[in-house]
Amino acid sequence: MPADTPQSPGGFRYYVSDEQLAAFGRMTAMQRLEWVEAAREFSWLGQSEESRARYQRLREGKPIQA
């Protein structure tokens, strides 16, 4: 992250460089879909069972609390 980027309390920030954006721009549509799927799988592996259940309920259009 650049030194001149202000820090915000809580949460997180993700900085994408111009080079990263250019590399993504050179990907084919299929490569981009594969990248998104890999990111989804990675984040799914880091979720708790409770978080996964809430996510599934949201996808079904239900409230996150049972």
- Convert the pLDDT of each residue in 5-56 to its tens digit: 566 567 778 899 999 999 999 999 999 999 999 999 998 898 999 998 998 8
Please report whether residue 34 resides in a domain: yes
- Domain membership of residue 45 as a residue range: 29-66
Please report whether residue 24 resides in a domain: no
Cα separation values, 14 from 7, 11, 55, Å: 11, 10, 22
User: What torsion do the CA atoms of 26, 14, 51, 35 make, to the nearest 10 degrees?
Assistant: 10
What pTM did the predictor assign? 0.57
Please report whether residue 13 resides in a domain: no
In the chain, the number of structural domains is 1
Please report whether residue 50 resides in a domain: yes
Please report whether residue 4 resides in a domain: no
Q: Which residues contact 44 (CB under 8 A, 6 or more apart)?
A: 52
Please report whether residue 60 resides in a domain: yes
Please report whether residue 12 resides in a domain: no
Please report whether residue 40 resides in a domain: yes
